[in-house]
Amino acid sequence: MDKPYKSGLVWFRRDLRLNDHAAFSLAVQQCEQVHCLFVFDRAILDPLHRADRRVEFIRAALLELDEGLRRLAGHDQAGLIVAHGQSVTLVPQLAHELGVQAVFAAQDYEPAAIERDDQVGQQLAGSGLVLHTCKDQVIFEKREILTRSATPYTVFTPYKKAWLAAVDDAALAEKKAPRADAVLSARPTPWRRDVPSLKDIGFEASNLAQLKIPTGESGARQLLRDFFDRMDQYHNTRDFPAIKGPSYLSVHLRFGTVSVRHLAKLALQRMAAGSRGAETWLGELIWREFYFQLLANFPHVASGSFRPEYDAIAWEQGAQAQARFQAWCEGRTGYPLVDAAMAQLNQSGYMHNRLRMVSGSFLVKDLGIDWRWGERYFAEKLIDFDLSANNGGWQWVASSGCDAQPWFRIFNPVSQSEKFDPEGRFIRRYLPQLADLPNKLVHAPWLAEAELLRSAGVRLGENYPKPLVDHALARERTLERYSAVRAKSRSA
C-alpha cells in the first residue's frame, strides 16, 4: 500500500509517550520514514523561574521517550530530536532541513498554542508542507458534546450525562502504530545527541527528584498500578488530604505520559462492575474535558469571568491586599488548613484537590482578593498546571463562572478543616509547630487558652500567625460584594 508521504515529522508537545499516541500512529500510517521532535520552546520557558519542576518532569519524560524510540527502531541512530528555541521558527526550519513533507502533532487547545500552531501551519504551507493535527488530549473535543440546540454545555451535570451517553469503544480505541520499527529514521548527525541537560536549556535542578514523583510513561504506569487497587474506594477517600486517595496522575495527564483514553476505559470497565469509586473518578476525567471545552468554546474565560458581570466585583486593592496576598502565598494566614495547603503547594508543586478549593475560597471569599491573582500563583507553582482546569477551578471557587451561587460557596476554613482533616494529621505534617495542639484546637489555635498554647509550644504571632481576618466578618463582606454586582446587573 502506498503511503502519501515519503517522510514525516512527529512533533511531540504535551503527549510525551509512545503508547496509544494519535499523532505518532497517524504519521507511521502515512509516512515511509518518520522523525520525532521535541522543542524546548523558549516562548514558554523563558518567562519561567530558573528552577521549575515541570521542566525537569518534561526532561525525564524525554529521556524515556528517546530511549523508547531507539529501542523501537532497534538502533541508536534513531531517537528523539530535541531542540531549544522558538517552535514557531524552529519547526518549519527543521521540517525543511529533514526534508519531510508533513508534520504531525496532537491538537493543543490553549489559546497561545492555537496561535502558535496557526503560525507554524502557515509557515509550512508556504513551502508546500502540511501540518496535521489530531485529537489526542481529550476524548471529546469542543463541538463533539453539544446540547440539543447544538450549543456547548455550560453546566456540568447535563454535560456529563451527554458525555457518558456518547462515549463508546470507538471513542476510546487505542491508537496503534503498525510496524513503527521499520519507519523510524536515523537522526541527521547534528541531532544525534543526548537530550539536553537542564543547564543546556538555562535551568537548574528543582527538588523534583527529592519529591520522588515517578516520571515518564513508566512513572504513569507505576502510579496507575498503585491506584488501581484503591480506585474502588476513591469516592470515600478523595476528600481527605491526609489519606492516599487520589491517583496522582494529573501531572501525567498534563504532559501526556499517560493516555486519557486508557484511563477512561479502565474507569468505565470498573464502573460497569459496580465500582462507585471508579464512577467518581471518571467524573473527574469528565470535569477535565468539561473545562477543556469550556475554554475552547468561551476563550474569554482565560482573562475574565465566565459571566462578565462578575468582572465588576470590587476586589480589595492596595498595599493591604498585596500584603495579605503575600501572606496567603507563603502560608501565613493563621488558618492552619489553608497554611498547610499552601506549604504543600510550595514544597511539592502539588496540592490536594479539596485544598485547592479551601485555599482558593479563602483567598477570594475571606481575603476579598481577585481570583485571577490566585490563578496566576497556582499556574506558577502547580506541576500539573493546566490552563483550562486551573481557570475552571478558580472560576468555580469565585462563583464567577457557570452555576454562580456565591451564597452557597463560601467555605468555612475551620469547618472544612474539622470535616476533612479531623485529627489534624495533614496540618501537623506541614505545620509542625502546631503538632502538640489537641485535635479540637489544631484547626483554630486562636481559640485555645493561653495556658494550653504555652504548653503546646505555640506562640501566636511568633511561631504561628494570628488569623489574618475574622471569617464571619469576611463572609458578610463577601455577600455584600457579590450582591452589589448582582443588583447592578439586574437593574442594567
Partner DNA sequence: TTTTGAGTTGTTCGA
Partner DNA sequence: GTCGAACAACTCAAA
Tell me which residues touch DNA (CB under 7 A).
147-149, 151, 153-159, 161-162, 239, 283-284, 287, 353-354, 357, 393, 396, 402-403, 405, 407-412, 415-416, 419, 471-472, 475, 479, 483, 486, 490
Q: Three cell numbers at 267?
A: 474507569
Shortest distance, position 19 Cβ to DNA, whole Å: 27
Name the minimum Å distance from CB 153 to DNA.
4
491 contacts: CB under 8 Å, gap ≥ 6: none
Taking CA atoms, 265 is separated from 259, 271, 307, in Å, by 10, 10, 34
Task: Give the chain's length.
Answer: 492
Angstrom distances, CA of residue 476 to CA of 110, 173, 214, 343, 360 = 37, 51, 44, 28, 18
Of 49 and 407, which has the nearer Cβ to DNA?
407
CB nearer DNA, residue 324 or residue 409: 409
Considering the complex, state which of residue 153 and residue 248 has its C-beta at the smaller distance from DNA.
153
CB atoms within 10 A of CB 351: 24
Q: Which CB, 91 or 357, lies closer to DNA?
A: 357
Closest contact distance (angstroms) between CB of 440 and DNA is: 9
Q: Which residue has the cell 510550595?
A: 346
**Residue 238 C-beta: closest distance to DNA, Å:** 7
> Least distance from C-beta 316 to DNA, angstroms?
20
3-state secondary structure 430-450: HCHHHCCCCCCCCCCHHHCCH
Residue 105 vs 340, nearer CB to DNA: 340
* Between 205 and 479, CB nearer to DNA: 479
Residue 186: HSE in the Cβ half-sphere, 13 Å Cα cutoff:
6
- DSSP 8-state assignment for residue 460: B
- The minimum distance between CB 403 and DNA, in angstroms, equals 4
DSSP 191-245: G-SPPPPTGGGT----SHHHHT---HHHHHHHHHHHHHTTGGGHHHHTT-TTS--
| 159 or 203: CB nearest DNA | 159
Cell of 211: 519529591
| Minimum CB distance to DNA, residue 490 (Å) | 7
The rounded radius of gyration (Å) of the Cα atoms in the chain is: 24
Amino acid at 224: L
> Do 1 and 54 touch, CB atoms closer than 8 A?
no
Shortest spacing between CB 40 and DNA, in angstroms: 32
Kindly tell me which of 87 and 154 has the beta carbon lying closer to DNA: 154
